[in-house]
Amino acid sequence: MQNNHAGWNFDNSYSRLPGIFYKNQLPTPVREPKLIIYNVSLAATLGLDANALKSKDGAAVMAGNQIPEGAEPLAQAYAGHQFGHFTMLGDGRAVLLGEQLTPQGERVDIQYKGSGRTPYSRGGDGRAGIGPMLREYIISEAMHGLGIPTTRSLAVVETGEEIIRETMLPGAVLTRVAASHLRVGTFQYAANWGKEEDLRALADYAVERHYPEVKASDNRYLSLLKELINRQAGLIAKWLHVGFIHGVMNTDNMTISGETIDYGPCAFIDTYDPATVFSSIDRDGRYAFGNQPYIGGWNLTRFAESILPLLHDDEDEAVKLAEGALSEYSDVFQAHWLAGMRAKLGMMNEEAEDKTLIADLLNMMQKHRADYTNTFRALTFDQLEEIDLFKTEEFTQWHEKWQARLGRQEGAKDAAHELMRKSNPAVIPRNHRVEEALEAAVEKGDYSVMEKLLKVLSDPYAHSEEQSEFCTPPAPSKLPYRTYCGT
Ligand code: AMP
Ligand code: MG
């Protein structure tokens, strides 16, 4: 253990859970750690000293070569349904350093990704490539900028070692910050391989950490289920509002905190089409853009199954309680989704016909292959010459109805415009821009492209002049954009 006063303030509650939930595991030191990107503002929020972390010692810590005082590194156990198939998984290339208590009194996980083999590595090398780690850094920070609950990225360190994939690639370690790394898959693991007391300890831990308000309820585990349903429904609705496709919504990649996690083949849509799939391995479109709400419900059902023994002593009663809670999911999701879509269209109150009006717009966007982000941006700024769809007769009719709808609501036109401004981003991490930034960084060691992209993505609702060049959709391409699982 190394003493390292950079503001670390650990208290590791996860390591106080029953032993089946983890294995103590040090990261495997790397040859030549080099800090290549570092999140100064996040460090400050965490109470970390930015300068200390930028030093040589800091790079050593971010690579796992030095362990700060108070950390208790471990690999977490979990299982999961991957594309519908149940498997034992666990942190195969990640190590939880510990939980940092921030100056604001929050508790967050600090985790290395790409830090070497663990008892859960199965056949893998425990390592990560620089491209996928920088990609996670960009997209997770973009999600944060968009106001979507997400794990954050503190730093990426090059390891000075090569890893073997299709070709040799530079290795990297990402330091990730999360409300916790508890997953639906952690509960599946407990239900399958633990005793009931292990499952209960995990559920109590999740309640304490993420849903303390349910402790007062008659059946705290049923309340936990209902709260998780609400949080995940809200999260997935937010994804849809900005055009985000997670790409690999396996149950091990769904958090209990309600944060987006595990950025692998994720990407944002340009043209609007609910059937859009980017991931090369998602051949059946299980995780297609428009299928995400359904999969959210599927995953939550797996969660409910896992905690059945806690819901009621009588199994039939437990099933009834779970089904009752799960039957609300669809309506809860719809309510979140509709609220966000109304905001995107400047609707400050509710009218019965809103849903139809929104659906009509989306259908037209799909038919005319309109750019999702730019359509809403153009509507926000009343730039009716911007989009081809806007030149059609059916759009003109829709626009009249929409204007009439807005005319019926109380409140100034300015307020509706303000609402639209802050609900419709100017910029999203468009695929071609992300690729361009990664190419400059990985191929040429030029991080300026990525830094500039990160800057505009940090405040996507600014609608500033410097953002305008990032609003352009990619040039039409014959080949669809493809993403790969970032291993
Ligand atoms: P992911 O696709 O990142 O959600 O990972 C799925 C599972 O594979 C998790 O248990 C990971 O820890 C594991 N995994 C992914 N890449 C590697 C690797 N290079 N070495 C060992 N395990 C890995
Ligand atoms: Mg995962």
Write the pLDDT tens digit of every residue in 361-389.
Answer: 999 999 999 999 999 999 999 999 889 99
Q: Where are the alpha helices (DSSP H) in 21-174?
A: 40-46, 50-54, 56-63, 130-145
Calculate how far, in angstroms, residue 145's C-alpha sits from the geometric centre of ligand 2: 22
Pick the more confident residue, 346 or 386. Answer: 346
Output phi, psi for 46, to 5 deg: -80, -5
pLDDT value at residue 24 = 98
Identify residues whose C-beta is under 5 A from ligand 2, the ion.
Answer: 253, 262
**DSSP states along 147-164:** T--B-EEEEEEEEEEEEE
Confidence (pLDDT) at 1: 42
Nearest protein CA to atom 2 of ligand 1, as residue:
485
- pTM metric for this prediction: 0.97
How far is residue 487's CA from residue 122's CA, in Å, rounded to a whole number? 14
pLDDT at res. 210:
98
| Residue with CA nearest ligand 1 atom 13 | 92
Ligand closest in space to the Cα of 485: 1
The rounded distance, in Å, linking the Cα atoms of 242 and 235 is 11
How many CB atoms lie under 10 A from the CB of residue 398? 18
Counting DSSP H helices and E strands in the chain, the numbers are 17, 12
Ligand 1 in contact with 219 (CB < 6 A)?
no
The enclosing H or E element of 483 equals none
Written as six digits, the tokens of 9 are 């303030």
Question: Please, are residues 456 and 467 in contact by the beta-carbon 8 Å criterion?
Answer: yes
Residue 486 CA: which ligand is closest?
1
92 Cβ closer than 6 Å to some ligand 1 atom: yes
> If pLDDT is split at 50, 70 and 90, which confidence band does 203 have?
very high
Q: Is 81 close to ligand 1, i.e. is its CB under 6 Å away?
A: no
Tens-digit pLDDT profile for residues 210-226: 999 999 999 999 999 99
Ligand having the closest approach to the CA of 112: 1
- Region 33-60: mean pLDDT is 93
Going from the Cα of 3 to the center of ligand 2, the distance in angstroms, rounded, reads 31
Q: Contact 146/113 with Cβ under 8 angstroms?
A: no
Specify the pLDDT at position 163.
97
Nearest-atom index, ligand 1, CA of 114: 19
Average pLDDT of span 480-486: 82
pLDDT (tens digit per residue) in 318-339: 999 999 999 999 999 999 999 9
Q: What distance in angstroms lies between residue 392's CA and the mean position of ligand 1's atoms?
A: 48
* Contact present, 110 and 124 (Cβ < 8 Å): no
Q: Using the mean position of ligand 2's atoms as its centre, give its distance from the Cα of residue 252 in Å.
A: 6
Cα–Cα distance for residue pair 380/274, rounded to 1 Å = 22
Q: How far is the CA of 333 from the centre of ligand 1 (A)?
A: 30
CA of 476 to the centre of ligand 2 (A): 32
Determine which helix (DSSP H) or strand (DSSP E) holds 99, and give its type and residue range. strand 94-101
Task: Give the position, in ligand 1's atom list, of the atom nearest the Cα of 486.
Answer: 3
User: Which residue puts its alpha carbon closest to atom 7 of ligand 1?
Assistant: 89
Active site residue 314: no
What is the best residue among 111, 163, 281, 487 to mutate for testing ligand 1's pocket, by most ligand atoms within 8 Å of CB? 487
Tokens of 125: 């090398």
Query: Which pLDDT band holds residue 479 (cuts at 50, 70, 90)?
Result: confident
Q: What is the pLDDT of residue 2?
A: 45
C-beta of 124 in contact with ligand 1 (< 6 A): yes
Q: Is there an atom of ligand 1 within 6 Å of 91 CB?
A: yes
Determine if ligand 1 sits within 6 Å of the CB of residue 158: no
Rg for the chain (alpha carbons), in Å? Answer: 23
Instruction: Say yes or no to pLDDT of 3 above 70.
Output: no
pLDDT score at 386 = 81
Is the pLDDT assigned to residue 11 strictly greater than 50?
A: yes
Residue 116 Cβ inside 6 Å of ligand 1? The answer reads no
pLDDT digits (tens, 9 = 90+) for 411-444: 889 999 999 999 999 999 999 999 999 999 999 9
Instruction: Give the C-alpha distances (Å, rounded to integers) separating 436 from 164, 236, 262, 292.
Output: 23, 28, 22, 27
The b-or-e profile of 307-318 (16+ CB within 10 A means b, else e) is bbebbbeeeeeb
Distance 162 CA to ligand 1 centre (A): 18
CB 57 less than 6 A from any atom of ligand 1: no
Regarding beta strands 244-245 and 107-113, do their DSSP bridges make them parallel or antiparallel, or are they unpaired? unpaired
For residue 253, the ligand closest to its alpha carbon is 2
The mean per-residue pLDDT over the stretch 8-15 comes to 98
Residue 30 φ then ψ, to 5°: -110, 165
- How far apart CA 267 and CA 140 sit, in angstroms, is 11
Q: What is the pLDDT of residue 103?
A: 97
Q: Which of 252, 262, 270, 371 is catalytic?
A: 252
CB of 253 within 6 A of ligand 1: the answer is: yes
Which ligand places an atom closest to the C-alpha of 266? 1
pLDDT of residue 486: 63
Say how far apart CA 74 and CA 21 lie, in whole Å. 10
The answer to whether residues 419 and 339 touch, using CB atoms and an 8 Å cutoff, is no
pLDDT (average), residues 467-480 = 88
Give mean pLDDT, residues 184-192: 98
Shortest-distance atom of ligand 1 to CA 250? 4
Read off the pLDDT of residues 91-130 as tens digits, 9 standing for 90 and up.
Answer: 999 999 999 999 999 999 999 999 999 999 999 999 999 9
184-193 vs 292-306: helix axis angle to the nearest 10? 30
Residue nearest atom 22 of ligand 1, based on CA coordinates = 92
The string of pLDDT tens digits covering residues 237-248 is 999 999 999 999
Measure 47 CA to ligand 2 centroid, in angstroms: 27
Q: Answer yes or no: is the C-beta of 109 below 6 A from any ligand 1 atom.
A: no
Q: What is the pLDDT of residue 473?
A: 93
Q: Is residue 181 within 6 Å of ligand 1 at its C-beta?
A: no
pLDDT at 70 over 70: yes
Mean pLDDT over each residue of the chain, to the nearest integer: 96
